[in-house]
Amino acid sequence: MSEPKISPSDPLKLWYSIKGDVRTAKSVALESLTLQSVDHSVYVMLQMNCDFIKKFEFLNISEIIVTNLRNGMSLMEISDCLRILAKYAKEMLKPTKERYKHWNKIPFMKAGAPQKWTRMDGTKTILKQLGYTQETSKGYIFPLHSFGPPLNVIKSLSLELALAAAELSVFYNNHHPHPEYIRNIMCPALVEELEASAFYPQGLRGRPKISAEKTLLVALAESG
């Protein structure tokens, strides 16, 4: 039986035909990526049986994870920050007229308290990649006279940020299909520190594999 034809408009079919080729998966997903298809593309990439860092081109994901864990953040706190940044990136997939009113301003404070992402090291670089190049005492600004980054960069960052948030969340909650790849980006000493702390998911070793369908439900629920 011949393999199904790859369809850029159906990333779920793509999963069954690419056999773990992460570059092909990402290329096809990005080709037709829209605000509505990000979650499906995250699901496809989450299932890839490959080196974790190969899924990321614009994000230095290993540095983000290791640096912020050493700074005292938990995996879920890092995931939450990445999820917020993903929402900013996905907003830019919309035509300018359809974005929320103050889309070009990202304040440090919200409802009188610092926004979660302000704690994460690496946020400034990510926001600049998205075009928020002006930093003020109140936050970051996307200059309205600027064209900003190319659409392909916005697409890649939207996918990578949403994927990183989902990967860490399902890993933390013992639902990751390939947890060993995330463990591999941490030095042995850091893994030992985490395993001894309250911030590390217990029972990763020897746990049964879960179905792709369950992983999909968990990933999409936690990335929404």
CATH class, domain 58-223, is: mainly alpha
Residue type, position 21, single letter? D
CA 221 – CA 224 distance, rounded (Å): 6
Rounded average pLDDT over 186-203? 57
What was the pLDDT predicted at 51? Answer: 86
Whether 123 has a pLDDT exceeding 60, the answer reads yes
**pLDDT of the residue at 196:** 60
Average pLDDT over residues 116-131: 96
Quickly state the pLDDT bin for 2 (edges 50, 70, 90): very low
pLDDT at 193 over 90: no
Q: Minimum mean pLDDT among 14-28, 82-96, 111-125: which range?
A: 14-28
Alpha helix locations (H) across the chain?
11-18, 22-31, 38-47, 61-70, 75-91, 123-129, 151-172, 179-183, 188-195, 212-223
List all residues 6 or more positions away from 199 whose beta carbon is below 8 Å from its beta carbon.
69, 74, 75, 76
Integer Cα distance of 184 and 201 in angstroms: 15
Between CA 110 and CA 98 the distance in angstroms is 22
Average confidence (pLDDT) over 212-220: 44
